[in-house]
Amino acid sequence: MTSSTPVVATRPAHGHGLQAVLLDMDGTLVDTEGIWWAAETEVFADLGHVLDEVHKAVVVGGPMARSVGHLMEVTGTTATLAELMVAIDTRFERLIARGAPLMPGARRLLTELGAHGVPTALVSASHRRTIDVMLRSLGAENFAFTLAGDEIARTKPHPDPYLAAAARLGAHPAACVVVEDTLTGVASAEAAGCQVVAVPSLVPIAPAPGRSVVRSLDQVDVPFLQSLVRRSVNVDLH
């Protein structure tokens, strides 16, 4: 069963224009990728392992179980996956307890989406407890609901999170625009059939059909998002 935190009334999407915007959290709206890496390096250091920076690009943006599994493999630690995930989550929450910085343009974009009445959801691979902490900085009122990685059987890069979010909003995936910062998130959104705006964080992302790449959220506004769906004129939304 997929649960979420409802914070504003969700109204059904309609028409063939932009029906919803689905936003990733870490590295897209909130500048947390470096904080996650700090939490991981600190936890593994406590166990006597020094993480090489080369692994940062591998683990950032992926599901936590996959990321931690990779670090377990390269370090040979005897700690279990469950133990490490709890320890990293706890360390991360301690680091962001005083608030997490938003990415440039994030606050303005959320405000603009709300002003235009665009149904908006937060779709993250992070766990529910982490998202709830982040909402103190992001503002829960900016989202119709939020979907966490531990509330769905298969998270990113599978299409399930974005398919579930679109369905909850009554929107056709092809009429949704997803904003992501990693290849993992982009793969999930594209597998779901959504239009994608990529704002690369650590790893470059190339433009592709149905995918626009921008330098920051400062380049993203409602008219731009609407144009991405209008451009897809050959998609049958019925």
**Could you tell me which of 178, 150, 142, 184 has the C-alpha nearest to residue 163?**
178
99-103, 145-149, 211-215: range with lowest mean pLDDT: 99-103
> What local confidence, expressed as pLDDT, does residue 65 receive?
84
In 3D space, the residue among 187, 191, 147 whose CA is nearest the CA of residue 1 turns out to be: 147
Question: What is the pLDDT at residue 32?
Answer: 86
Q: Are 196 and 212 in contact (CB under 8 A)?
A: yes
pLDDT in tens, 41-79: 999 999 999 999 888 877 776 677 888 999 999 999 999
pLDDT of residue 9: 39
Contact 21, 119 (CB under 8 A): yes
8 secondary structure, DSSP code: S
Give CA 29 to chain center in angstroms: 8
Beta strands, E only, 25-164: 120-123, 145-147
pLDDT, tens digit, 9 for 90 and up, residues 201-229: 878 999 999 999 999 999 999 999 999 99
Is residue 14 within 8 Å of 173, Cβ to Cβ? no
pLDDT at 234 over 60: no
Q: How confident is the model at residue 238 (pLDDT cuts 50, 70, 90)?
A: very low
Residue 218, C-beta contacts closer than 8 angstroms, at least 6 positions apart? 104, 105, 108
Give per-residue burial for 97-135: e unless 16+ CB within 10 Å, then b.
eeebebbebbbebbebbeeeebbbbbbbbbbbebbebbb
Give the position of tokens 């900085």. Answer: 137
Q: Do residues 174 and 193 make contact, with C-beta atoms less than 8 angstroms apart?
A: yes
Please state at what angle helix 64-75 crosses helix 81-95, rounded to 10 degrees: 110
pLDDT grade for 113, boundaries at 50, 70 and 90: very high
The Cα–Cα gap between 133 and 205 comes to 29
